[in-house]
Amino acid sequence: MNKHPEKAAQRQQNAIALRRVLRYIAAQRKYVALSLFCALVQVAAALLIPVLCGDAIDYMIGIGQVDFAAILKYLSLIAGIVGLSAIAQWVLSASNHHITFLVSRDLRNDAMKKIQRLPLSYLDGHAAGDLVSRLIADVDTFGDGLLMGFTQLFTGLLTIGGTLGIMIALNFTIAMIVVVLTPLSLFVASFIARSTYRYFQKQTVVRGQQTALINEMIEGHSVVQAFSHEDESQQQFDQINDELRGVSLKAVFFSSLTNPSTRLVNNIVYAAVGLCSALFALKGHVSIGELSIFLSYASQYAKPFNEISGVVTELQNALACAGRIFELMDEKEEPSDAQGAEIESDGHVQLENVSFRYVEDRPLIENFSLDVKSGQRIAIVGPTGCGKTTLINLLMRFYDVNEGSIRVSGKDIRNLRRHSLRGNFGMVLQDTWLKKGTIRENIAYGRPDATEEEIISAARAAHAHSFIRRLPKGYDTEITENGGNLSQGQRQLLCIARVMLSLPPMLILDEATSSIDTRTEIRIQAAFHAMMQGRTSFIVAHRLSTIRQADIILVMKSGNIVEKGSHEQLMEKNGFYAHLYNSQYAGVE
C-alpha cells in the first residue's frame, strides 16, 4: 500500500506532462537530430583533446628529449579540433533555441485555440489575469527550462558516458573509483529535485493569482481610487506578494543547494582519481601524460553532474508550468457543432418551455416560453438578477438551455453551427469592447470587406463621425487596448457603428445607450428605430423611457415573465411594470 498517495499522484502527473511535452518536441525531430549530432561532435572533440594533450606531454618528458616536431603536430591537430568544436557548439545552440521557440510557439498556439473553444462558463469562473499568466509567464518559464535541458542535457550525458568509457579502457581500477562514487552525486541531485518541485509548483499558482490581482486593480483603478480603497488593495497585493516571496525563496534555496552539493561530491571524485592516478604513476603503471589525461577526464566527468543537476531543477520548474498549461488544455470544451447546419434567419424566434440554471441547485429561468415574430421589437425589463442578460446569452448560445428549446426560423439552435447562428445577430452591449487597432478596423470588425464609404456611412448613422473627424488621424487613429484613449461614450458609439455596418437580421441591444449623453441618445434612438425596421430586435433596458415604442415588453421577475404587452397596456394594468416605470419617473417607491 502506498504510504504517500500525494507524491505518487504528483509523480504520475509529472510523467504525463513529460510525455505530452515530448510529443511537442517530436514535431521538431529534424532539429533534434541536428542537435544530437552537434552535441556528439562537440563531446567527441572535448574527449579527444585530453588524449592529444597527454600524448604531447609524453613528448616533452626529459631534458633534451623534447620532440618539437611531434608537439607542433599535436598542437595543430588540437587547434583544428577546437575550431570544429566551436562550429558544432554554435550550430547546437542555434538548433536548441529553434526547438525551444517552436515548441513554446506551438504550446501557446494550442492553449490559445483551447481558450477559443472553452465555454463562457469557464471564462466567467476564472480570473483573466490567471489565464494570461498561463499563456505568457508559464510558457516563457517552460521555454527557459526546455532550452537549458537541450543545451546541457545532451552534452552532459554524452560526456559522462564518453569519459567513463575511455577511463575504463585506460585503467579499469581508477575508473571503478569513479563508478563507486557516482551514485552519491546522483542521490544528492535527486533528493534536492524532489524537494524543489513542490515549491516551484506553488510558485506558479501564486504568480497566477498575483497577475490576476494586478490585472483587476489596473482595470478598475479609477473605481479603487473613487472609493479610497488604495490601502486595502495594496494590503491585498502585499499579502500575495509576500506569499510569492516565501515560496520563491524556498524554491530558489533548494535549487541553489544543487550545484554546491554536487560540486562537493565531484571534487571528492576528482581528488580520489588524482590520488589513485599519482600512486599508479609512481609505480610506473601509467605515464605522466596518462596521469594528466585521467585528471582532465575526472574534471570533465564531474562537470556535467553540476550542469545536469541544475537542468533537473529547471526541468522541475518547467514541468510545473507545463502542468498548469495542460490543465487549461484539458478543460471541457463547448460541445462540437461541426455537423451543425448553416442558417440565414428570417428573424422568427421561439422559446419553448426553456429552463436554465448556472448552478445546479439554484433555478434561474423556469418553463419560459416566447414566440417572437419576424421584425418585432421585444423589450426585456425587470430588476437586476431577474434573467434579462441570461436570456440574451441563451439566444446567442453562449450557454445551452438545460430543458426546453430555442428555435430560430424553425430550427433548434443546438443543431446549428454557432458561427452561423451568431452571424445572424448584431450585439451592442453596455460593456464595450474594442480591439487594439485603428478606428476603421474596429468599425469594420464584423465586415472586414466593407468599403470606406460604407464605414463612414455607418459612423454617421451612429453619430460617431463628428468626433472621429476631430481626432488627429481621423479613421486611422490607433485605439489603445480596449479603447483606453477614448471616453466611454465614444467607445459605445463605435460599437453601435459596428452593428450599423453589419446590419444582421436580428439585433440585441443591451443598455446600448447607457454611456451616451441625452441629446445624442435621442438621435441614436432615431437611428436604431430606422435600423430595426424589418429586423427582429431584443432590447434590454433599465431606462424604461427608451423602450416605450417596443411592440412587446416582457416584464421579468425571478426568471419568469410576469407581464407582457405594449407600454400602454402594461400601464393600464397598473402592475409590476407600472410600478417600475413610476418609480423611475414619478418618484414612487
Q: Are the beta carbons of 517 and 472 closer than 8 angstroms?
A: no
Grid coordinates of 117: 473553444
Predicted confidence at residue 3, as pLDDT, reads 54
Predicted confidence at residue 92, as pLDDT, reads 87
196: DSSP letter: H
Q: Residues 4-47: pLDDT tens digits?
A: 566 666 667 767 777 888 888 888 888 888 888 888 888 888 87
Q: Which of 97-111, 157-171, 183-197, 290-304 has the highest mean pLDDT?
A: 97-111
% of the chain with per-residue pLDDT over 70:
87
* CB environment 139-165: b (16+ within 10 A), e (fewer): bebbbbbbbbbbbbbbbbebbbebbbe
Grid coordinates of 387: 434573467
SS3 at position 564: strand
Asked whether the predicted pLDDT for residue 296 surpasses 50, the reply is yes
CA distance 504 to 6: 54
Q: Residues 102-151: pLDDT tens digits?
A: 888 888 888 888 888 887 777 777 777 778 888 888 888 888 888 877 77
Enumerate residues 6+ apart whose C-beta is below 8 A from 288: 57, 58, 61, 281
Count of CA atoms in the C-beta half-sphere (13 A) of 413: 30
Report CA Rg, the chain: 35
* Angle between helices 452-461 and 488-502 in degrees, nearest 10: 120
% of the chain with per-residue pLDDT over 90:
1
Average pLDDT score over residue span 89-100:
88
Going by pLDDT thresholds of 50, 70 and 90, the confidence category of residue 1 is: very low
**Closest-CA residue to 317 (of 214, 156, 205, 211):** 205
Q: Are the beta carbons of 428 and 579 closer than 8 angstroms?
A: no
**Closest-CA residue to 266 (of 177, 172, 157, 144):** 177
Q: Residues 213-270: pLDDT tens digits?
A: 777 777 666 666 666 677 888 888 888 888 888 888 887 787 777 667 777 777 777 7
Predicted confidence at residue 310, as pLDDT, reads 67
Domain boundaries, the chain: 24-329, 434-503
Asked whether the predicted pLDDT for residue 563 surpasses 80, the reply is yes
* CB environment 247-281: b (16+ within 10 A), e (fewer): bbebbeebbebbbebbbebbeebbebbbebbeebb
Predicted confidence at residue 226, as pLDDT, reads 62
3-class secondary structure per residue, 387-435? CHHHHHHHHCCCCCCCEEEEEECCEEHHHECHHHHHCCEEEECCCCCCC
Enumerate residues 6+ apart whose C-beta is below 8 A from 196: 251, 254, 255, 258, 313, 316, 317
Predicted confidence at residue 587, as pLDDT, reads 46
Mean pLDDT of the chain: 79
CA angle (586, 588, 589) in 5-degree steps: 150
Average pLDDT score over residue span 360-374:
81
| Candidate CATH numbers 1.20.1560.10, 1.10.8.60, 2.40.30.110, 3.40.30.10; the one for domain 24-329 | 1.20.1560.10
Q: Are the beta carbons of 523 and 477 closer than 8 angstroms?
A: no
CA distance 555 to 576: 8
Predicted confidence at residue 400, as pLDDT, reads 85
Q: Residues 472-513: pLDDT tens digits?
A: 888 898 887 666 678 777 887 888 888 888 878 888 887 766
CA distance 229 to 245: 24
Average pLDDT score over residue span 561-571:
85
CA distance 307 to 330: 33
Q: Residues 533-545: pLDDT tens digits?
A: 788 888 887 777 6
**Closest-CA residue to 146 (of 22, 309, 14):** 22
Q: Please tell me the CATH code under which domain 434-503 is placed.
A: 3.40.50.300
Average pLDDT score over residue span 507-521:
72
Answer whether 24-329 and 434-503 agree in fold: no
Element (H, E) at 509: strand 506-510
CB atoms within 10 A of CB 361: 5
Average pLDDT score over residue span 556-580:
83
Q: Residues 437-479: pLDDT tens digits?
A: 888 988 888 788 889 999 998 888 888 888 888 888 888 988 8
Asked whether the predicted pLDDT for residue 589 surpasses 60, the reply is no
Enumerate residues 6+ apart whose C-beta is below 8 A from 261: 188, 189, 192, 309
